[in-house]
Amino acid sequence: MIQTRHHSYKAVVAGHICLDIIPEMGEMPLKSPGDFYQPGTLRLIGKSHLSTGGAVSNTGLSLLKLGIDATLMGKVGEDSFGRIIRDILRDQWGLTQGMVSVKDETTAYTLVLTPGNYDRMFLHHPGANQTYCSADIDYEKVAQSDLFHFGYPPLMDKIFANEGKELAEIFKRVKEMEVTTSLDMAYPDPESPAGRADWQTILKHLLPWVDIFLPSYEEILSMLHPQRAIQARLAGFPMNPEEDSFIHEVTGLAEELLEMGVKIAGIKCGTSGIYLRTASREKLESMVRPGFWNPSQWGEMERWEPPYRAECFVNANGSGDAAIAGFLAAYLRGESLSSALHYASAAGACNVTKADTLSGIKNWEETTLLINEGWEKSPFRINHSGWKEREGGQWAGSQDKSFD
């Protein structure tokens, strides 16, 4: 079924796109993750799912499902995978524009492996995303939008090269159009050029032009404090909001992002929910065109949103992108910050119920009904004097203007 679109270009989602190839592997018996790869063996798996993936697809199409008119801007090769991506976008979504198609380049693809009861693993070829640049963006459409979202720069070589000069120029140009800017990251392969890049310097140049930034805990810790991230990675990136050390680390990371210039800094913490901190009302006033949004409702807030209970769990592929889409959809609809966090958590919980990144996402009305009917949240508690529980299971920190 083709999704209905309007032509106001409410949001533009640019950056990384790929083809996801997802074989069914849930019944594979494994005693440990190391049992998965045994040279010379053959293992039977189920049928495969083909879907578009990457931030452009995951966030952009989730926004469409949530009722936000979104224009997608990505780059593919003129090959079989590129044709599949364009066919999916045209036949299932009615999208016939936005993809830059180039000769002599391959289309990005990802093998999404989910063996047994273990977390997903990605085998990724970035393809044409490696040459994506400012020239691939239609700035006339961006100028007509209320929001510009860019995703996965660590998987796009030209974008983060030269200390992120290309990416900073993109965001600066968009910000000068008085369009709200939003950024999403991807966890870089430590052995890749992105894993060796100086992300502290890149973010220092970039974040003054970024309004909304919602990276994961693993991503932002690796970028701002790579040595601490090495130890955390060896320990499996433990995330427990009942531990004071974890609370201090997450709040400290958000504080660093605000000091670098971000107006709304959120950190996705997987099954431990989403932490969010906002700048002052005065700083938030620079985010949008006059009259579009009331920044006084969002300024000087500190919240932690617990996750909703998913009806089932298939895998978490794209759950972070879905959470961002839920948050941005609520923001564009003029919802409160507390409500935006509910929608972020809800979209993320819906996502994990399906193998691909989009089938689980519900429309705005269905998602609203789930939230309003008292959708149960996972057990969550912060045992710290600087936090208080609020209505709806959300927690407010000491930096929240409502804290007393």
Quick: pLDDT tens for 228-257. Answer: 888 888 778 888 888 888 999 999 999 999
Indicate the pTM of the whole model: 0.92
Residue 1 forms part of a structural domain: no
What pLDDT was estimated at residue 7? Answer: 38
27-31, 66-70, 224-228, 278-282: least confidently modelled range: 27-31
Residue 296 forms part of a structural domain: yes
Higher pLDDT, 180 or 116: 180
Mean pLDDT of 43-65: 92
- Would you state the structure tokens that stand for residue 366, as one six-digit string? 């269905």
Residue 109 forms part of a structural domain: yes
What pLDDT was estimated at residue 66? Answer: 96
What pLDDT was estimated at residue 290? Answer: 61
For residue 191, pLDDT beyond 90: no
What pLDDT was estimated at residue 8? Answer: 45
For residue 119, pLDDT beyond 80: no
Sheet holding 99-102, edge to edge: 99-102, 70-77, 11-15, 147-151, 180-184, 212-213, 264-268, 274-278, 302-305, 395-397, 387-389
What pLDDT was estimated at residue 81? Answer: 97
Mean pLDDT of 136-144: 95
Mean pLDDT of 127-132: 96
Q: What angle do CA 226, 231, 233 make, to 5 degrees?
A: 85
Q: How many CA atoms lie within 13 A of 33 on its CB side?
A: 7
> pLDDT tens for residues 196-216?
999 999 999 999 999 999 999
Residue 130 forms part of a structural domain: yes
Residue range of the domain that includes 305? 11-31+45-397
Residue 247 forms part of a structural domain: yes
Report the number of distinct structural domains present in the chain. 1
Instruction: Give 206-209 contacts, CB < 8 A, sequence gap 24+.
Output: 206/164, 206/167, 206/168, 206/171, 207/257, 207/260, 207/261, 207/262, 208/260, 208/261, 209/168, 209/171, 209/172, 209/174, 209/175, 209/181, 209/261
What pLDDT was estimated at residue 398? Answer: 95
Torsion of the alpha carbons at 368, 373, 378 and 382, rounded to the nearest 10: 90
Residue 5 forms part of a structural domain: no
Mean pLDDT of 328-345: 95
What pLDDT was estimated at residue 50? Answer: 92
> pLDDT tens for residues 368-396?
999 999 899 998 999 888 999 998 899 99
> pLDDT tens for residues 299-326?
999 999 999 999 888 878 789 999 999 9
Residue 82 forms part of a structural domain: yes
CATH of the domain at 139: 3.40.1190.20
Residue 403 forms part of a structural domain: no
4-18, 259-273, 319-333: least confidently modelled range: 4-18
What pLDDT was estimated at residue 5? Answer: 39
What pLDDT was estimated at residue 134? Answer: 96
- The mean of the pLDDT values for the chain is 90
